[in-house]
Structure formats: structure tokens, C-alpha cells
Amino acid sequence: MEEVVEVFAEPPTSTAIGRINHHHPHQTSAIAKIQKQYLQTITVVPERPMNGHDNNSTIVHGQRQSYSEGGSEHDSEGEGELNPQDAWLPITESRKGNAYTSALHLLCSGIGIQALLLPVAFAALGWFWGILCLFMAFLWQLYTIWLLIHLHESVPGTRLSRYLHLSIAAFGQKLGKLLGIFPVMYLSGATCVMLIITGGGTMEQFYKIMCGNEATCSAKALSGAEWYLVFIFLAIFVALFCPNLNSLAGISLIGAITAVSYCTIIWVLSISKNKPDGVSYEPSKVAVSEMDRIRSILNAIGIIALAFRGHNVVLEIQGTMPSSAKHPCHEPMWRAVTISYLLIPLFLFPLAIGGYWAYGNTIADGGILRAFSKFHGHNTPRFVIGMIYLIILINCLCTFQIFAMPVFDNLEFRYTSKKKKRCPRWLRSGFRVFFGGLTFFISVALPFLGSLAALLGGITLPLTFAYPCFMWIAIKKPRTNGTMWWLNLVLGCLGIVLSILLVVAAVWSLVNKGLDANFFKP
């Protein structure tokens, strides 16, 4: 009779670890690292033999796993959880996702307002280097996504459905947290803060455009902080009706549609209008000195690198899918990536190329939207410009939900780890209101956070371009000096060097231009 895997709320025994190590000796340390993250862990208990013979084999996948959650049992081929705590948390509460819902999540999280800055990068790099850098960055980040989704179930008996857990499995408890916790929390929490600042500012612009009468608008206009408050109220109101990541499929559909819509509308309108006077495509005219030229090139590379986002939620999105020994979740997840990343370049490349063609070196620092408003706002119907701002606003509200989910998950993880039970609905709502209040306070206190985006983006860049490569080497252990070993080592080191250069360029730019630190004055 084969053994039964039962889950108990106790530390893993040496016997259990030893038996798993019998099949996967090189991954024992990785298993131990992950198991430390949970109070409820896996213990292998031999079932009483019926035929008088012991069976020492242990099957982690494809074998019945039973755990108690309201007296229910699940089959591992379906919806069973090796760690029952995953069934209580927002990211992994529902394992009913598929390739299409995941593709929607990837589209919504992968195309953001930062894409509107791509023509600015081309102004510093020129046609050839701009297109080449954009294409290489796309291939690079697509490769690291492939690494992440194949590392999702790299530790036997464990689904690494959170980026931080994968970091700990690869680099160890202390180093994994040190390397992963800041970029993950920044790309989740700080992205939500940036969405509040962007969404609040977009609401204000939409109000001014649609109001028409400047005197009346000024008399009745809300302050910047009040616009932020309206945005976060709407965002948290939506979040209260979306208990888990899989329930965001409809929201992600709206977010994906709005993202591709405003990207397409802006570049189509830009190339359909007459070019401004004095348009030039010479990169040398952007900078007045050689040092400024180097700084502008580094900043341009940073803009391109940061145009592709969402790596911090790839594993979380994959965690919404069911998985079994026969049907591992990396297969439908890769289909989702294929679908979404066939579409993403179809909208980002025309946006970058069309925006640079339309405005050249006259492109404003704020990107193609600001350039369009500056050069063509006076001869474009008010309704059209208002529609663009409205679409951007809706997209910000939808994107907020995806990037806030890892924070919601982390808050509930603390509660379930301590109480050993599911978070009640009223407390789950309370956590979301608390997070909304916290991000609102930060957005009001630091409305200039967007000016630090290049600096913080450079710090978090390894999460996208470097860490996945080193994780593959640490966990998969490819043959030393083999193709995969060298490829990941070179790309990982190059990502770290690029991150350092971008941080230096960002600090350099802040020193030269200064920072308008308007604390509590949005």
C-alpha cells in the first residue's frame, strides 16, 4: 500500500525530509527553506500496510493528500493543497484559473502608463539603437519570465506562488529576504502609490477638460489630495468585491482593453497630425555636453527596461492555476505568456516608434501624452482628449487591483500564520481599507515619488533581469560551464551591472536637476 501524505501544523520531521531527500537529495536545503515560511508543513506518515509488507516509497505528486479545512478532503490531481494555508490566502485561494484568465492578468499588469515614456528614450538613442534596445529588452524579459514559470514547481511538493518564496528557496532565508523583499514590496506597494498619484492627477485633468468654463472649474475644483482620496476610495471599493486574484479576471479584461486602447489612440492621433516645427531625429541634439549625452543614454535604457513590468506578479498569477503531476501548471502558464506577449509588442513598438516619428527630439519629458497635449491639444476635440484621460483612469483603477493583491496576501498571511485559520471577511475588508489609507497617506506625503522612479526602478531592476537567472542556477543546478549555466550567469551579471549604472545615472540626474520635494503638497 502506498503512503499517505498528511498535513499537520507542526515542524517537518527529519524522517520526512530524509524520505523526500531519498528521491531529490540535491534539493533538501531548498525544501527546508520554503518550509520555514509556513507554520503548517508537510509530514510524511506511512499508512498501515494491508498486505504485511512495508512500502518505503513516497509519492508527493499524483498521490492522495488529505488535510483538514472544515472537514473537507481534496485529491491532489484536482485542487489539493500541500500547504493548507495557501487555501486561505487571496493569491492562491482559488486555483481555477486558466491560460486565458492568466493572459488577461499579464496584459493588464504588463502594459502601464510608463510605456508612454518610450518615445523619450528614442530621442536619446535614435532610430537604430532605440529599436534595438527595445527589442533586446523584450527578448530578455520574456526569457526571464520563462525561467520564473518553470521554477514555480521546482521544489518537490511545493508550489512557489510568490516571488519572495522563490527568492528564499534559491538564495536562502536571510539573503533571499534581503534581495527580494524590498523590490517585491516596492513594485507592489509603491506601484499602487504611483497609480494613486497618476490616477488622481488624471481625474483632475479630466475634470478640467470636460468642465470647459475655467472660472467655474477653478471655483469648484478639488485639491490634489482630494482627487487622490476620490481615486483610492474607488480603488478600495472595487477591491472589497474581489476576494482573490482569480476573481480579478473581469477587472483584468477591462484593464487590458483600456491599456491597449489608450496606447493605440495616442500614437495614431500623433502621427495623423502635422509634425511640430523644428522636429529633428539627431540624438546628439538632446544633450549639450558629452557627460549629458552619457546620462541621457543611461536614462533612456532605464526607460526601456522599465517599460516591461509585472515580473513580481508572474508567479502569483501562475498560482491561480490548478496543477498536478500529469498536467503541471507551467504548460498553460506558458500559453498565457505566449498570448499576452504576442500582443504587448504590437502596442508598445508602434507607440515608441510612432511617438518618436511624430515629435522627434521635441518630445516632452512627460512622454507622448504631454507632447500631444502641448502641440495638438488646441486643435483636437475636447471630447477626444477627455476620453483618453478617462481610459487611463479606468486602467489605473484596474491595474491597482493586481499590484495590491500581493500586499493583501502578505497581510492575511501574518494573520493566518498566527491564528491558524482563515481570515474572516470583516478583517479581510479591514486590511484592504488599511492598505488604502496607508497608500493614500504616502501619496499625499510624497507626491514627488514619480521623480524618484528612475532611482527606485534601477534598484528594483534585478528582480526582472537578473534574479531569475541566478535563481535558475541555484535551484536547477545546470552543468557547470554548460550553455544554460553560462547564459544565465552572463545575463544575471549584466542585469546587476545595468542596475548599478541606472542608479548612478538617476542620482546624477537628481544632483544636476534637483528635486522638487513638495512634501504634503500634491
The pLDDT averaged over each successive group of 10 residues in the chain (522 residues) is 39 41 48 45 38 36 33 37 81 93 95 90 93 95 96 83 92 89 81 94 90 70 92 97 95 97 95 88 69 85 84 92 88 96 94 95 85 90 93 97 94 93 94 97 89 80 93 94 96 95 88 78 78
Coil, helix or strand at residue 412:
helix
Task: Return the pLDDT at 178.
Answer: 87
Task: Return the pLDDT at 2.
Answer: 41
Check which CATH number belongs to the domain holding 122 and give it: 1.20.1740
In the chain the first and final C-alpha atoms are separated, in Å, by 67
Q: Is 429 found in the same domain as 359?
A: yes
Task: Return the pLDDT at 57.
Answer: 34
Task: Return the pLDDT at 114.
Answer: 87
Question: Which residue range(s) make up the domain with 437?
Answer: 89-513
Q: Is 116 found in the same domain as 62?
A: no
Q: Is 34 found in the same domain as 139?
A: no
Q: Is 152 found in the same domain as 41?
A: no
Residue 69's Cβ-count burial label (10 Å; 0-12, 13-18, 19+) is middle
Q: Is 31 found in the same domain as 150?
A: no
Residue that finishes a domain, picked among 86, 120, 135:
86
Q: What is the 3-state secondary structure (H, E, C) of 262-331?
A: HHHHHHHHHHHCCCCCCCCCCHHHCCCCHHHHHHHHHHHHHHHHHHCCCHHHHHHHHCCCCCCCCCCCHH
Q: Is 478 found in the same domain as 354?
A: yes
Q: What contacts 333, CB < 8 A, 6 or more positions away?
A: 99, 102, 149, 152, 317, 318, 321
